[in-house]
Structure 1
Amino acid sequence: MSKNEPISVQEALIYVMVIVSASDNSMTDKELATIGDMIKMLPVFKDYDANSIIPAAQRCGDILQEENGLSLVLELVGDILPVKLYDTAYALAVEVAAADLEVHQEELRILQLLRDRFRFDKLTVAAIERGAIARYRTV
Structure 2
Amino acid sequence: MFRLTAGKHRRRELGLLAASALMLTFLVPATASAATSQVAVTCYGGSVGISLPPNGYSGDYTTSSRCSDINLRIDSGGGQWVAVCWARHGTCQGSWTWVPEDVGYRVVATDVLDGTTFYFTTTGGGGTRGGRTAY
Higher strand share: 2
TM-score, normalisation: structure 1: 0.25
Higher helix share: 1
TM-score, normalisation: structure 2: 0.25
